[in-house]
């Protein structure tokens, strides 16, 4: 069977793909060699800016199936009946390192799910931890700058990492998570995922509930110690990618059970913790987990660049029955994520196959036109404004979710304090939940980083946070840091 003909990008056949055109057998190359120039020019432009955070990622396709009735809480169509299946794409990632970073490092993991629902794409962008380091988006650029490579030394600096945390006492809860046993998952398959933020569900009667998402791994939690992780990185820097790819290829399909915590909207104002604070959890004894369904991954992408690197998740991609809450970090991300994709991928990134809504054949119906890579197939004579008299797409008049009540004066405000709101209660609760072996490893992990800080005042500020969380916690970290610095 004859092979298909290799062509240039304009479709012309390529006669020789092994030798460049030259002026004689040993002469200089010719500017007229269109095939050579096209190949080199395209090669120079193959890469796009990597994500500032979550650059190193893996992903897979699968489905979500409803197993329990939640129609009393949301009228989202993809959750409307037991047994209903929705196609999904899930992207895992590390947070701080670059695209070429290793997988088995101590870092939170991104857990971003795109549901291709019949009412449009719903993006749930979370992590493998239920909390985060900060609670206001205005601090996010500073936080990430402190965690990434220093502009002078070109590497991550303990001075920067711990100096920021010293000035952000609300980070103590997440630092306790990160430095504990779950700080380095053994694989993407063996970790939980969380929506982390608080969202809003609205039922058919217009009743509003605040919701937190918990994806519990059905493979069981497996994590690596710092020593095991170092060995793993030395053997295969792409260990998590390798594991996910090979598991799915051999028919071992990872799965997670989705649970939610639901809080009637009227209870939020008087709850003892601020329910919209990303550094806090809702204790399960207050709002028990309720099962919703099962997420299964069963197909690897055909092209990692096209489908994983160019996958664009935006927390503002809601569907009817689901909406935002007053969570400040969520509110900031409603803008920042979509804007990052417009920068990296272009204004038409939603036309890429991995991002395109499957609910609308031919692509989204709106009046956006033109821009880089405009291929939106609007028919001849279609209008690019609304309203119009030409049968163009029109608004429904039906809001996706219930309105959020507001009051007071505009300005920069700290979040209102609830009865148990401080930066240390939940970090201490987490420490006291740990076994003695877990506490010892946590203390060693913290001391290993904090002892490398050059300024004594920064060390003291961080130690004060651990003392405030739990006296024993503080004493043990302080002793461990002192011992390492005296060596």
Query: Is 253 part of the annotated catalytic residue set?
Result: no
CB 209 within 8 A of CB 73: yes
| Residues in a beta bridge with 93 | 57, 110
Query: Is 127 part of the annotated catalytic residue set?
Result: yes
CA distance 96 to 109: 10
Write phi, then psi, for 109 (nearest 5 degrees).
Answer: -115, 135
CA distance 63 to 284: 27
CA distance 208 to 231: 49
Alpha-helical regions (H) of 194-305: 226-235, 239-249, 304
CB 223 within 8 A of CB 180: no
CB 229 within 8 A of CB 451: no
414: Cα within 13 Å, side-chain hemisphere: 6
Spot the catalytic one: 121, 127, 160, 300: 127
For residue 46, the tally of other CB atoms under 10 A from its CB is 7
Give which of 294, 328, 332 is closest to 315, Cα–Cα. 332
Spot the catalytic one: 35, 54, 197, 349: 54
267: Cα within 13 Å, side-chain hemisphere: 15
CB 321 within 8 A of CB 328: no
**What residue ranges in 67-119 does DSSP mark as E strands?**
85-94, 109-117
220: Cα within 13 Å, side-chain hemisphere: 1
User: Which two structure tokens, joined as six digits, stand for 352?
Assistant: 């890429």
CB 91 within 8 A of CB 332: no
> 133-146 burial string, b = 16+ CB within 10 Å, else e?
bbbbbebbeebeeb
185: Cα within 13 Å, side-chain hemisphere: 28
- Which residues does 478 contact at the CB level (< 8 Å), separation at least 6? 463, 466, 467
- Which residues does 177 contact at the CB level (< 8 Å), separation at least 6? 129, 131, 183, 430
CB 294 within 8 A of CB 52: no
Residue positions annotated with a catalytic role: 54, 127
């Amino acid at each position: 069977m004859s092979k298909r003909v290799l062509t240039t990008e304009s479709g012309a056949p390529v006669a020789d793909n092994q030798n460049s055109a030259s002026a004689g057998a040993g002469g200089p190359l010719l500017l007229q060699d269109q095939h050579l120039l096209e190949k080199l020019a395209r090669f120079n432009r193959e890469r796009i800016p990597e994500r500032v955070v979550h650059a190193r990622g893996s992903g897979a396709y699968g489905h979500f199936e409803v197993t329990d009735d939640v129609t009393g809480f949301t009228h989202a169509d993809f959750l409307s009946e037991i047994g209903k299946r929705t196609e999904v794409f899930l992207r895992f990632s590390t947070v701080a390192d670059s695209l070429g970073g290793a997988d088995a490092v101590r870092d939170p993991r991104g857990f971003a799910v795109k549901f291709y629902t019949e009412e449009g794409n719903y993006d749930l962008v979370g992590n493998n931890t239920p909390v985060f380091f900060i609670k206001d988006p205005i601090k996010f650029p500073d936080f990430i700058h402190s965690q990434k490579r220093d502009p002078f030394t070109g590497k991550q600096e303990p001075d920067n990492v711990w100096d920021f945390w010293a000035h952000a006492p609300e980070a103590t809860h997440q630092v306790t998570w990160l430095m504990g046993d779950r700080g380095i998952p053994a694989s993407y398959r063996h970790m939980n995922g969380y929506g982390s933020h608080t969202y809003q569900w609205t039922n058919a009667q217009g009743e509003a509930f605040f919701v937190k998402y918990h994806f519990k791994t059905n493979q069981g939690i497996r994590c690596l110690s710092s020593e095991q992780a170092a060995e793993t990185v030395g053997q295969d820097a792409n260990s998590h990618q390798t594991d996910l790819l090979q598991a799915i290829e051999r028919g071992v399909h990872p799965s997670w059970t989705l649970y939610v915590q639901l809080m009637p909207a009227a209870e939020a104002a008087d709850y003892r913790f601020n329910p919209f604070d990303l550094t806090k959890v809702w204790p399960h004894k207050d709002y028990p987990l309720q099962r919703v369904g099962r997420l299964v991954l069963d197909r690897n992408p055909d092209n990692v660049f096209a489908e994983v690197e160019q996958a664009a998740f935006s927390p503002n991609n809601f569907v009817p029955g689901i909406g935002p809450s007053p969570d400040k970090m969520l509110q900031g991300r409603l803008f920042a994520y979509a804007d990052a994709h417009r920068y990296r991928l272009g204004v038409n990134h939603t036309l890429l196959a991995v991002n395109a809504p499957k609910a609308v054949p031919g692509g989204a119906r709106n009046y956006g036109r033109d821009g880089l890579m405009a291929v939106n197939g609007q028919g001849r004579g279609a209008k690019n404004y609304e309203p119009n008299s030409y049968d163009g797409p029109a608004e429904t008049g039906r809001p996706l979710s219930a309105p959020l009540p507001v009051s007071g004066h505009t300005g920069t405000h700290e979040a209102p304090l609830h009865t148990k709101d401080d930066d240390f209660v939940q970090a201490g609760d987490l420490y006291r939940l740990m076994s003695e072996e877990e506490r010892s490893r946590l203390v060693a992990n913290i001391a290993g980083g904090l002892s490398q800080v050059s300024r004594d005042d920064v060390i003291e500020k961080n130690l004060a946070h651990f003392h405030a969380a739990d006296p024993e916690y503080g004493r043990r970290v302080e002793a461990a840091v002192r011992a390492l610095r005296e060596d």
